[in-house]
C-alpha cells in the first residue's frame, strides 16, 4: 500500500492542478480589443485583487479539512505577502535554512560536523495562511466558457 505524502513534502511536486506554462493571453470580445493587448481592460476578465479574509495557522496540519469551518479573524491584500503586512515575521534566507534542525527534520552527520536539513522534511511549525473572498460572476457571462485560476488544498 502506498504511503500518503502531503504535497508540500513531496520533492517531485512543483505544482498541482495548474495549466501548463504558456504565453500571456487574454479574453476579448472583439478583434479591436485583442490587438490592444490590454487584458485588464477586457470586460471578460475579472480581477480578484483586493482585500481577502485571512486566518493564520501555525502549520498546515492545523488547517481544518473543511475550509467552511474557518473563522476568519483578519484580512490580507492580494496580491501581497501576509508576512510583510504584519501577520508574521518575514522568513527569508539566501544562505542557510531559517529553522533549527531537530528530530526527523535533521541529519546529524557526527564527528562535529554541523547538523543539516533532511529534505523533504520541514519543521512542524510552518506558518500557513488561508484566505477567502466572495465574488459573483456577472450575469453577462452566462453561456461563456470560463477559466478560473484558483488553488484550493491541492485540488
Which of 94, 144, 97, 88 is closest to 116 using CA atoms?
Answer: 97
User: According to the model, what pLDDT value does residue 104 have?
Assistant: 61
User: According to the model, what pLDDT value does residue 155 have?
Assistant: 45
Check whether 90 has a pLDDT greater than 90: no
The span from the CA of 44 to the CA of 72, in Å, is 30
User: According to the model, what pLDDT value does residue 73 have?
Assistant: 92
Q: What percentage of the chain reaches a pLDDT higher than 70?
A: 72
Check whether 1 has a pLDDT greater than 60: no
Which of 59, 84, 55 is closest to 71 using CA atoms?
Answer: 55
Average pLDDT, the chain: 78
The span from the CA of 43 to the CA of 138, in Å, is 10
In this structure, the strands spanning 74-78 and 128-132 are unpaired
Are 63 and 130 a contacting pair, CB within 8 Å?
Answer: yes
Instruction: Give the residue-averaged pLDDT of 149-154.
Output: 51
pTM of the model as a whole: 0.66
2-49 tens-digit pLDDT: 556 777 777 788 887 777 787 777 778 889 888 888 877 777 778 888
End-to-end CA distance of the chain: 23
Which grid cell sits at 130? 488561508
User: According to the model, what pLDDT value does residue 150 have?
Assistant: 59
CA dihedral 34, 15, 60, 54 (to 10 degrees): -10
Phi/psi at 84 (nearest 5 deg)?
-75, -15
Q: What percentage of the chain reaches a pLDDT higher than 90?
A: 15
Q: Where on the phi/psi map is residue 44: left (φ > 0), alpha (ψ -120 to 50), or beta?
A: alpha
Are 93 and 99 a contacting pair, CB within 8 Å?
Answer: no
* Domain extents in the chain: 1-17+48-155
More confident residue, 90 or 32: 32
Amino acid at each position: 500500500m502506498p504511503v500518503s505524502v502531503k504535497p508540500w513534502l513531496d520533492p517531485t511536486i512543483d505544482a498541482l492542478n495548474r495549466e501548463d506554462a504558456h504565453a500571456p493571453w487574454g479574453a476579448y470580445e472583439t478583434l479591436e480589443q485583442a490587438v490592444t493587448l490590454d487584458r485588464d481592460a477586457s470586460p471578460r476578465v475579472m480581477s480578484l485583487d483586493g482585500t481577502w479574509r485571512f486566518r493564520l495557522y501555525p502549520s498546515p496540519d492545523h488547517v481544518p479539512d473543511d475550509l467552511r469551518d474557518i473563522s476568519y479573524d483578519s484580512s490580507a491584500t492580494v496580491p501581497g505577502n501576509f508576512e510583510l503586512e504584519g501577520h508574521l515575521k518575514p522568513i527569508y534566507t539566501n544562505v542557510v535554512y531559517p529553522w533549527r534542525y531537530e528530530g526527523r527534520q535533521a541529519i546529524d552527520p557526527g564527528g562535529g560536523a554541523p547538523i543539516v536539513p533532511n529534505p523533504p522534511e520541514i519543521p512542524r511549525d510552518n506558518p500557513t495562511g488561508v484566505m477567502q473572498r466572495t465574488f459573483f460572476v456577472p450575469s453577462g457571462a452566462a453561456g461563456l466558457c470560463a477559466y478560473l485560476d484558483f488553488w484550493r488544498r491541492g485540488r
